[in-house]
Amino acid sequence: MSYTHRVDRERRLICKAGLALGAVAVLPACGDGTTVAAACSSSSVGVGNAADVPLNGAMMHPTPQANVFVCHDANGFYAVDAGCTHLGCDVQLANAADLKQGFTCLCHGATYDANGEKPTSPAPAPLKHYLLCAQPSGALVVDVTQAGVESTVRLKV
């Protein structure tokens, strides 16, 4: 078995099973590149390619379960739920050209920072973060069954 084939096979096994043993070298596509809480499941949904999300930008993608923003900052890529934590209206980028301006809910005026945190009234909580994974092709997938990912986790592609 060739080295490349073995590494690809190990990556699939580790990503699918969420195993962390020996993962540092082969798991940058499953978490923040240093730690892995879990791996994207078979129910993950494609949300475009990493190359399509500019630095300090975000793109909203509908999934069957939720609308999700795929965001890109200096530390990597992350996915947040677009649903405002007040009543569930979809938030928008406060400035479409600059993720650093954060998110705003047009329904009732709540705002969030670029990481989906520091909500203002009437939003009672930060936006949920989802697990984001990458395929070798650069395609991104989000696993909305795995909410509650730490807001500092970034996918490095």
Q: Indicate the range of 42-46, 89-93, 139-143 predicted with least confidence.
A: 42-46
The better pLDDT of the pair 27, 126 is held by: 126
Amino acid at residue number 54: P
pLDDT in tens, 117-137: 999 999 999 999 999 999 888
SS3 11: helix
Those residues with Cβ within 8 angstroms of residue 142's Cβ, 6 or more apart along the chain or in another chain = 40, 44, 45, 47, 61, 63, 68, 70, 79, 130, 131, 132, 133
Query: Whole-prediction pTM value?
Result: 0.76
Q: Average pLDDT, whole number, for the chain?
A: 80
From the list 116, 149, 151, 157, the residue with the least C-alpha distance to 36 is 149
CA distance linking residue 15 with residue 4, whole number of Å? 16
pLDDT of residue 154: 96
Radius of gyration of the chain (CA): 16
Complete domains list, the chain, with CATH: 41-147 (2.102.10.10)
Per residue in 38-73, pLDDT (tens digit) is 478 888 999 999 999 999 999 999 998 899 999 999
Contact 71, 102 (CB under 8 A): no
DSSP 126-152: PPPEEEEEE-TTSEEEEEEEEE---TT
